[in-house]
Structure 1
Amino acid sequence: MDYSIESTPLEKLQCDCLIVGIYENLQLSPSGALLDQLLKGAISQLAARGDTKGKLNEALLINWLPDMTINRVVLVGLGKQDSLTGKQYRTALAAAIKTIRDAQIKSAVCTLAELPVAQYDWRWKTRQIIEVFGDALYQFKQCKSVVENEFKTEQITVLVPDDQMTASQKGLAEGRAIADGVTLAKYLGDLPGNICTPSFLAEQAQSLGKKLSKLSVDILEEDYMQALGMGSFLSVSRGSRQPAKLIIMNYQGGEKNSKPIVLIGKGLTFDAGGISLKQSLGMDEMKYDMCGGASVIAALQAAASLQLPLNIVGLVASSENMPDGDANKPGDILTSMSGKTIEVLNTDAEGRLILCDTLTYAQRFEPEVVIDMATLTGACLVALGRVPSGLLGNDDSLCNDLLAASETSCDSLWRLPLWEEYQELLKSNFADMANIGGKDAGTITAACFLAKFAENFRWAHLDIAGTAWRTGPNKGATGRPVPLLMQYLLNRSSTLAAR
């Protein structure tokens, strides 16, 4: 997809399609009003006769404009004539690009960055155009011999005034990097488990390391992990023919001695549940159990593309969880890298078993903060649905920074408590802890388990079980929480620049 910015006056613009807005009171956006003037009131007449109500999430395609160098117009509903919220703005953008995509329009010029959006500037608004349009134009085609209804849109131009060109160029660059990251995370997530194995994920990371400056990639193999004492991590792959991998991505964009931000992702490329076998209905979606790992790889790609002035380490703990004669059994006791012992009461609670050793490994980087993300618990989907990801952590400042980033990125989070009382649910008669805490507070007890391995640094945990993919007719990976992670990293970069 080709994205660009230009400042050509509307009366001189030549394009296949122009995107303008209209409010519920039928007031047109500035560019819409100017276009209406050039058309001698034709758009106003269409609106007056009820062809559009101006409601949010509504869009009207006008296919013929007399005596114009603009061939078509998409008239996007903006709702009530108030300053839009960030989410409302993204809703309007989504309606616009869906109309363009479905009409198979090859190129379009978007004027919606001119709209007033509460608290946000041209840089943010331009970035959102690229992010939302890129998300809508993603199409998984790699495993199809024939692609039906292939999207035809190839070029999007954002129209901006000359005095906002610098800010919009920054937004364009950020939007491209984030959109490309989301596309990568979605692509990796949507691949089937027989293609996207731990070895495949490692190869994708290594490929990025060769392409991007300041990014190096190392892969820890099972024999090395065994020497490190990662008994918890390695126990998960015992039932699989695919060897586990610990993918280490090291981006050095900051000062040499500055402490890194460590991002950890769960990379279960397929989770059958092990001996505690999952139900067959919907088990195909367990290829998405690696979306946390995919998001880490994608975030490192985006950060390196933007050359952020930060040091970032990405750790992707990758394995399969399968039933086999050598697989973990309920009642088994494992020794983690930290030396703490774990009683396995449910082999389907395997994500925390690979993450706990990865958290211990992260200590060697002397991190400033550690953020892990994982499709960890179905309980998070029950508690929060598919709107926000769950947030838990041991540091209020870090959690508040992530919440602020979630607001700006419109990649929502909701913080859950991590109180000491919940730790009681993880007690075991036979080991230092159990790997599950029973039926109550499943998302919280999973985080409590991880917290035992994050006591030596500032840490936050993102449970993305409800947000990493969509189910049903529109089944597919979402690329979340890549926008959230990138907003957090951009905020950190801005803080450094302000010092």
Structure 2
Amino acid sequence: MEFVVKSGAAEKQKTACLIVGVQKTSQLPAMQAMDTLSNGYLTGLIKRGDITFKPGHSLLLQHVPEALSERLLMVATGEDDKPLTVSQYQKLVGHVISTLKSANVKDAVIAIDDFKVKGQELSWIARQFVEVIEHSLYRFDDYKSDKPKKSADVLKKITLLTDRKTVNAVKEAVAQGQAIGKGRNVARTLGNLPGNICHPTYLADEAKALAKTHAKLTTKVLNEKQMHDLGMHSLLSVSAGSAQEAKLIMMEFKNGKRGAKPLVLLGKGVTFDTGGISLKPGAGMDEMKFDMCGAASIFGVMNAIVEMDLPLNVIGMVAAAENMPGSKATRPGDIVKSMSGKTIEILNTDAEGRLVLCDALTYAERYKPEAVIDVATLTGACVIALGHHTTGVLSNNDELAEELLSASNQAADKAWQLPMGEEYQEQLDSNFADMANIGGRPGGTITAACFLSRYAESYPWAHLDIAGTAWASGKNKGASGRPVPMLVQYLLNKLK
């Protein structure tokens, strides 16, 4: 998809489809210009009731009198001057792209200045427009024999029409939107790939391939022998039952000030999670290929910041393993020693995400990071607490948590902070080791974060639990690519 930004009059655009906003009680500039050009043809349709004014509703017209555009898409933005909500705007853009695809439109022009969103500036409106379109056009059909016609074969170009004073700002916003949208789709593809294709070695190869795209990006991969020598027996306990070798992947993007502390983003990369000996129920187990969506989001973020060439030092880490039952698999009741030297009684092998992450958190210390953020599909308890709409945030640093929550609001990638008081730590007590890997059903998301916090005491740290937001089930089954928008916004905010 090609996005172009330019200034100009809406009524002078030669295009397959011109998109304008329309309201019931007042005419927006582009709509007014087109109505004047057509000698009141459009207001006549409105008076006749041909369009309703619920936000997102539209009317596609062919051959409007005197218009240079082949089609005109009138999109309702409400009954008065009240701006759209973020949710309304996202749905509106999704409806626009669906309409253009259905009409086999190859190129379109949108009068972006006519669309107002509560609390948001034009740059955000333009960036979100591009992000939603990138998301809407995505299809994962790599393994279908009879592939449907790709959307890109129909819709090839969209031009955002704005005032000449705002062209540069909108261009920057569009570039960001494309990078974030593409990065999010990278994460979706990795999440959607089946476990027999996307295993730890596959992820390592993807990281190496990404390193070839930018001179300031290098990739380092630790194999199981190297991790064993480092004492990462917690991480290795997860992969013990699998024929697939675990990998610890570091994508080191050194594009910021020399000597500046890096930001470390760490993703849980359990490429398939059977639960191990604590076997999951068979129904729905196919969705456990999505248990590496935390890792996928790290790949998405790294792709985005490389494309934008952000002047930052960022380490993208992925702790990758496959959790399988087998003769060498870890048993409930086994005790392992982590890289930190702390011992863990593994009461449930299906609480494996924290076991791969804790050794990676210890390894992250050697980067002397400014902050570490881990992303993981960690607990079903987070789904119960927050549903499928909101990512859970837990942190040992209030400032870092607030930065992430602010970024989530800016990016329209919802998150909410949960508490992590000392009183929850007691639930991890073990009679036989320094700690257990589970703390019982009450506060499961919090106790999982408490476990991780014991390995992140030397730096500001935050944990994003995306168990409810990483993928959708049912007829729309597929990875969401969240929280790529939030994390990229967090990094962009570091440049301000």
* TM-score class, shorter: over 0.9
The equivalent residue for 1:105 is 105
In 2, Cα distance between equivalents of 1:358 and 1:366:
14
Q: In the TM superposition, what is the alpha-carbon distance from 1:26 to its structure 2 partner?
A: 5.0
The equivalent residue for 2:191 is 189
Aligned ranges 1:18-97 → 2 under 5 Å:
18-23=18-23, 25=24, 27-80=26-79, 81-97=81-97
Identify which of 337, 340, 351 aligns with 2:342. 340
Query: Over residues 99-140 of structure 1, what are the superposed CA-to-partner deviations in whole Å (9 max), with x where a residue is unaligned?
Result: 222333222112234423334333222211110111101111
What SS is found at the alignment partner of 2:350?
Answer: coil
Query: Over residues 11-70 of structure 1, what are the superposed CA-to-partner deviations in whole Å (9 max), with x where a residue is unaligned?
Result: 2211111221223x3534321222222222222222333332221232332234234221
What SS is found at the alignment partner of 2:212?
Answer: helix
Counterpart of 1:121, as a letter, is: E
The equivalent residue for 1:131 is 131
Identify which of 285, 298, 301 aligns with 2:300. 298
Identify which of 414, 417, 420 aligns with 2:419. 417
Could you tell me the percent identity over the aligned residues? 49
In 2, Cα distance between equivalents of 1:35 and 1:148:
36
The answer on whether the counterparts of 2:345 and 2:436 sit within 8 Å (CA) in structure 1 is: yes
The answer on whether the counterparts of 1:114 and 1:122 sit within 8 Å (CA) in structure 2 is: no
Q: In the TM superposition, what is the alpha-carbon distance from 1:149 to its structure 2 partner?
A: 5.4
In 2, Cα distance between equivalents of 1:332 and 1:55:
59
The answer on whether the counterparts of 2:344 and 2:436 sit within 8 Å (CA) in structure 1 is: yes
In 2, Cα distance between equivalents of 1:53 and 1:214:
52
What SS is found at the alignment partner of 2:50?
Answer: coil
In 1, Cα distance between equivalents of 2:44 and 2:470:
44
The equivalent residue for 2:256 is 254
Q: In the TM superposition, what is the alpha-carbon distance from 1:86 to its structure 2 partner?
A: 3.3
The answer on whether the counterparts of 2:41 and 2:65 sit within 8 Å (CA) in structure 1 is: no
The equivalent residue for 2:329 is 327
Greater Cα shift, 14-23 or 108-117: 108-117
In 1, Cα distance between equivalents of 2:286 and 2:25:
47
The answer on whether the counterparts of 1:269 and 1:320 sit within 8 Å (CA) in structure 2 is: yes
Identify which of 157, 160, 166 aligns with 1:158. 160
Counterpart of 1:61, as a letter, is: L
Aligned ranges 1:343-492 → 2 under 5 Å:
343-492=345-494
TM-score normalized by structure 1? 0.96
In 1, Cα distance between equivalents of 2:346 and 2:61:
61
Q: In the TM superposition, what is the alpha-carbon distance from 1:169 to its structure 2 partner?
A: 1.3
Query: Over residues 206-261 of structure 1, what are the superposed CA-to-partner deviations in whole Å (9 max), with x where a residue is unaligned?
Result: 11100123111111111101110000001111111111111100111111110000
In 2, Cα distance between equivalents of 1:28 and 1:466:
41
Query: Over residues 379-412 of structure 1, what are the superposed CA-to-partner deviations in whole Å (9 max), with x where a residue is unaligned?
Result: 1111111111000000000000111111110001
In 1, Cα distance between equivalents of 2:133 and 2:225:
44
Q: In the TM superposition, what is the alpha-carbon distance from 1:97 to its structure 2 partner?
A: 1.5
In 2, Cα distance between equivalents of 1:364 and 1:115:
48
The answer on whether the counterparts of 2:11 and 2:30 sit within 8 Å (CA) in structure 1 is: no
Greater Cα shift, 58-67 or 447-456: 58-67
What SS is found at the alignment partner of 2:270?
Answer: strand
**Structure 1 unmatched ranges of 5 or more:** 495-499
The answer on whether the counterparts of 2:13 and 2:109 sit within 8 Å (CA) in structure 1 is: no
In 1, Cα distance between equivalents of 2:193 and 2:259:
38
Q: In the TM superposition, what is the alpha-carbon distance from 1:8 to its structure 2 partner?
A: 3.0
Q: In the TM superposition, what is the alpha-carbon distance from 1:179 to its structure 2 partner?
A: 1.1
TM-score normalized by structure 2? 0.96
Query: Over residues 411-443 of structure 1, what are the superposed CA-to-partner deviations in whole Å (9 max), with x where a residue is unaligned?
Result: 010110001111111111111111111111111
Aligned ranges 1:270-289 → 2 under 5 Å:
270-289=272-291
Greater Cα shift, 107-116 or 294-303: 107-116
What SS is found at the alignment partner of 1:5?
Answer: strand
What SS is found at the alignment partner of 1:177?
Answer: helix
**Structure 2 unmatched ranges of 5 or more:** none
The equivalent residue for 2:8 is 8
